[in-house]
Amino acid sequence: MSADQTIVFAVLAATLAMFVWGRWRYDLVAILALLALLATGVLPFEQAFQGFSHPAVITVAAVLVLSRALQNAGLVDLVVRVLTPLKGKMALQLVAQTVIVAVLSAFMNNVGALALMLPVALRQAYRDGYAPAISLMPLAFGSLLGGLTTLIGTPPNIIVSTFRVRELGEPYGMFAFAPVGGVVALAGIAFVTLVGWRLIPKDRRGSVDPEHVFDVADYVTEVRVATDSALVGNSLTEVEALVDDEEVMVIGIVRDEARRLAPRGYERVQAGDVLVVEGETSGIKALLAASDLTLEEDKAISRADLGNDEVTVQEVIVAPGSSIEGRSPRTAQLRTRYRVNLLAVARHGKRIERRLADVRFQTGDVLLLQGPSERVGELTRDQRLLPLAERDVGVAKPQRLLLTGSLMAGAIAAVMTGLAPAHVAFVAAAAALVLIGVLGRDEPYRAIDWPVIVLLAALIPVGTALELTGGTALLADGVLALTGGLGPVWVLVTLMVVTMLLSDVVNNNATAVLMAPLAIDLAQRLDVALDPLLMAVAIGASCAFLTPIGHQSNTLVLKPGGYRFGDYWRLGLPLEVVIVLVSVPMILLVWPL
């Protein structure tokens, strides 16, 4: 092994180790790997940042922008309406949701497709009383399987296509992946929806009682202000401040038999008022001990008592990308900015019992809100919260959705007919969507996952260094030695399995960048067609099912589903076996060696 090869492999080993460690962001790790190769002279300076102009990088960025446009056009509303007739039918919902996310993933970023479907799946689970864990992992895996079917379905397909251009002078067509990827996706979806979800541990699949998750009688009560009370004339904010280390909110006032809900904090207490107070039992007791308020005995509070024509009580789901994710009720300014009271939070189908002030919102949390109807609606729109009830979903805009779909179809047609390469066609479509107002002026920049872009741009030159130093040839020698001269078919199987395993711990884009040159070297050594080996890499890189860190889709459902790290391999390992058994014969049939 030469000195340059030693340096490249040492840098790659350190890079992969840091990817697995996960302490530093993967884009920073990729940049450090690139800088290390430049500093040692292994990679020429003029090739340092060529990755940023690479067609694969530009195409991935454009597809991310188009995915955001589809969301803005009202696609989620359309999906909700399609699934509404399946109310109460868990098995059919599971199949329909997974098929829909797979179809969406074929034409938009798979993480974006999952982010769009995740709150819908949570809505269905909470409404029909089954645990979110039953549907979320199959949904995540479905988003990965759907990406196998088209050129733009997943970044590894785009990356593999660019390597084909370099070797054969022609990229893969828009649907060149479909004959193999489509069959694999169908087999995988059938497995996860019919059999696979049953492999998720039973304690994660417990039933949910939607009627009692938010039983307001448990934490809402009424207290009376005596005629001679010392609190007469105080503001509601001052009443709440009587309890320093507990959480109590005044969410209503009963005065002269009239119920005033969601009052403002500066409202003054009057003699004879009955205050509707929300809080844990310990908080209510502390308030009574710190004041001369008296508890209204035998007064049952129902959810209907907390809302009227002007004030709504609504359950909403924290969607992926919500700006309140990771924040507390206070820092999210639910009361100070929106005049909305947070009554309770449910997570994994169970109400959180600890003080709400200590809660940090997570994707998939269900919040019970009370406030003026227009302010709750404003909060829902601003913070990307999805109402749990179908009637609360916003009205879709068919014209905007049709226009967005038409522009995307036009870009696909341009690629298929050879009128424009993928990176040019999809950038043009994205620009058009900004011009017609589907996307705001700054929204394309927010839609792009910049760490992924930096990762790709940095690792492409690293892959080049691996090839220039002969490192790829050494890896090919290792694969051939591992297969022991069993023939090209077993080399293909080994290449796919190794790619799968690497993708389970390393970003799938990085896996594709590193494994595609190996496929090229193996094809040349075995004197076989290149396409079947590249297809093996494409499928392997996108099938990261064993861990929650292998792909962003897996990570996205980890907390909302209440999963543990070890839950993934229970469903993922048999799924990967199914994929190998199905994909290898299909590759050999469609792309003969």
Q: How confident is the model over 196-212, as pLDDT tens digits?
A: 888 988 777 766 665 56
Joined together, the tokens standing for residue 480 give 């051939």
Residue 336: half-sphere exposure toward Cβ, Cα within 13 Å: 6
Q: What is the mean pLDDT of the chain?
A: 86
Looking at residue 246, what is its pLDDT? 60
User: Which one-letter DSSP state was computed for residue 271?
Assistant: T
Instruction: Please work out, in degrees rounded to the nearest 5, the angle formed at the alpha carbon of residue 558 by the alpha carbons of 553 and 564.
Output: 135
CA 33 to CA 232: how far, in whole Å? Answer: 68
Type and span of the H or E element at 288? helix 281-289
Choose between 181 and 285: higher pLDDT. 181
* Amino acid making up residue 116: L
Q: What is the pTM of this model?
A: 0.77
Interval 16-40 mean pLDDT: 87
CA 195 to CA 220: how far, in whole Å? Answer: 43
All structural domains of the chain with their residue ranges: 1-48+75-209+449-593, 214-395
* Other CB atoms within 10 Å distance of the CB of residue 49: 14
Joined together, the tokens standing for residue 175 give 């649907």
* Other CB atoms within 10 Å distance of the CB of residue 200: 21
Say what percent of the chain tops pLDDT 70: 95
CA 247 to CA 351: how far, in whole Å? Answer: 16
> Is residue 448 pLDDT above 60, yes or no?
yes
Q: Which of 101-105, 274-278, 409-413, 469-473 has the lowest mean pLDDT?
A: 469-473
Are the C-beta atoms of residues 223 and 293 closer than 8 Å to each other?
Answer: yes
Confidence of residue 143 (pLDDT cuts 50, 70, 90): very high
Interval 125-153 mean pLDDT: 90
> Is residue 304 pLDDT above 80, yes or no?
no
Looking at residue 78, what is its pLDDT? 76
> Is residue 391 pLDDT above 50, yes or no?
no
> Is residue 388 pLDDT above 60, yes or no?
yes
Strand partners, 264: none
Confidence of residue 574 (pLDDT cuts 50, 70, 90): very high
> Is residue 243 pLDDT above 80, yes or no?
yes
Domain formed by 214-395, architecture = 2-Layer Sandwich (3.30)
pLDDT tens for 527-546 read 999 999 999 999 999 998 99
* Amino acid making up residue 56: A
Residue 569: half-sphere exposure toward Cβ, Cα within 13 Å: 7
> Is residue 238 pLDDT above 80, yes or no?
yes
